[in-house]
Structure 1
Amino acid sequence: MIEIIDIRKSFDDHEVLSGISAKFEPGDNNLIIGGSGSGKTTLLKCMVGLHEPTSGSVIYDGRDFTKMNFEQRIEIRKEIGMLFQGSALFDSMTVQENIMFPLNMFTEQSFEEKMDRVNFCLDRVNLKDKNKLFPAELSGGMKKRVGIARAIAMNPKYLFCDEPNSGLDPKTSIVIDDLINEITEEYKITTIVVTHDMNSVMGIGEYILFLHNGKKYWDGTNKEIAHTDNKELNEFVFASKFMEAAKEKL
């Protein structure tokens, strides 16, 4: 479980996050949603240590990440998998080398052990025998799946996904959502997904945290979201659905 307590973040005199608290349970798809500038990506970066919160706490299974020094944080970072918005694969590395990268950095495993893990992860994301391909040879959906394979290479307890469906067509987006959902349930990972994709929200949103202007405006499940009377959330949800419907007609 990950718990955030009264997280605040300011850049100079501008407060981007205003006292956000939430609990993210293992084995659930935890989604952070909100419009552009709502603070969702800043919150994710505070949770993984890319930004330091101005105040507040980030707790990983009882361990206060915000109070740790650099060396102490390394142990938790070994338990974190990250899927970046643009996949962030190394263009000069093969698929195999990309997935092996965190294993080379954080483990003392033999090459054979690392190869076994690479092949297991590739098989898990349905990319068996794609080891020698380079990112330039992959479709957008395949790059995302390689990104997921790299994210789970260290068998993480926590998985962070930043806009995993960005740039993908609706059919491929569903494939990625299903894959994230399966891995989360299968390995009881605490998964946190930052997204603006309402199909993801309604499809896999077991816990949803809605941010607006840097504040927590609503949280609940995808079943509850359709019945909320929260004005800002309804405006975001229906505006998003309108835009999706408009894109489908183009």
Structure 2
Amino acid sequence: MIEIQNIHKAFGSNVVLTGIDAVFEPGKVSLIIGGSGSGKSTLLKCIVGLHQPEQGKVFFDKKEFTHMDFEEKIPIRKEIGMLFQNSALFDSMTVEQNIIFTLDMFTEMSKSEKIDRANFCLERVNLAGKNNLYPAELSGGMKKRVGIARAISMSPKYLFCDEPNSGLDPATAILIDELIQDLTQEYSCTTIVVTHDMNSVMGIGEYILFLHKGQKFWEGSNQDMLNSDTKELNDFVFASPLMKAARQVIK
């Protein structure tokens, strides 16, 4: 479980987040949604420790993470898997080397154990046998899956995904969503996904946190969302005719 309390973040005079509270439960896919500039990615970075909030606390299974020093944070960081928006693969490394990179940093595994783990993770994301390809040889969807393979290489308790469907066609995006959902259940991860993809929201949104202008405006499930009377949420979610039609059908 991850709990955030009263998170405030600013960059100089630009206030990005104001007083955000939320609880993200294990075994569930939690989504952070909102318009551009609402603070979604900044909040994610505050949670994983890439940004230090001006105020507030982040708890990983009741352990206060925000004010730990570097050494104290290492055990928790070993339990975190992260899929970055653009996959963040090393272009000069093969697929296998990209996955083993994390194992090199955080484990005492032998070389053969690392290769076995890389093979397992690649098989889990349906990329068995792609070990020796380089990122330039992969499609966008394959890069995302390699990113996920690297993220699960340490059998994470906490899985973070920043815009995992960005730049993907709808069919591939659905496959990525299903993979994230399956891995969340398989590892009982506390999974947090930043997205603006309404297909993801409706498909895997067990808990949704909606941000608007850096503030928490709404939280609930995707089914709760369809019946919400929060204007800002409705303006964001039902901006497209397709989502408006879906809401009418369900009602």
Q: What is the aligned partner in structure 2 of residue 230 from structure 1?
A: 230
- Displacement of 1:242 in angstroms is 4.2
Amino acid at match of 2:88: A
- Displacement of 1:13 in angstroms is 2.2
Q: Secondary structure at the match of 1:156?
A: coil
Deviations 1:192-228 (A, max 9, x none): 0000000000000000000000000000001111000
Q: What is the aligned partner in structure 2 of residue 197 from structure 1?
A: 197
Give the alignment's TM-score, normalised by structure 1. 0.96
Q: What is the aligned partner in structure 1 of residue 35 from structure 2?
A: 35
- Displacement of 1:11 in angstroms is 1.4
Give the alignment's TM-score, normalised by structure 2. 0.95
Instruction: Give the CA RMSD over aligned residues.
Output: 1.2
Amino acid at match of 1:204: I
Question: Matched residues in 2 for 1:88 and 1:121: separation?
Answer: 17
- Displacement of 1:126 in angstroms is 0.4
Is the Cα contact below 8 Å between 2:157 and 2:190 reproduced in 1? Answer: yes
Is 1:162 the equivalent of 2:162?
A: yes
Q: What is the aligned partner in structure 1 of residue 78 from structure 2?
A: 78
Q: Secondary structure at the match of 2:142?
A: helix
1:71–1:155 CA distance, 2 compared to 1 (3 A): same
- Larger displacement relative to structure 2 (164-173 or 73-82): 73-82
- Gap regions ≥5 residues in structure 2: 245-251
Q: Secondary structure at the match of 2:86?
A: coil
Equivalent pairs: percent with the same residue? 69
Structure 1 segments of 4+ aligned residues over 4 angstroms from their partners = 242-245
- Gap regions ≥5 residues in structure 1: 246-250
Question: Matched residues in 1 for 2:11 and 2:169: separation?
Answer: 35
- Displacement of 1:244 in angstroms is 8.8
Q: What is the aligned partner in structure 2 of residue 99 from structure 1?
A: 99
Question: Matched residues in 2 for 1:199 and 1:94: separation?
Answer: 32
Q: Secondary structure at the match of 1:56?
A: strand
- Displacement of 1:75 in angstroms is 1.3
Corresponding residue pairs, total? 244
Question: Matched residues in 1 for 2:48 and 2:153: separation?
Answer: 18
Amino acid at match of 1:122: L
Question: Matched residues in 2 for 1:184 and 1:66: separation?
Answer: 24
- Displacement of 1:14 in angstroms is 2.3
Amino acid at match of 2:21: S
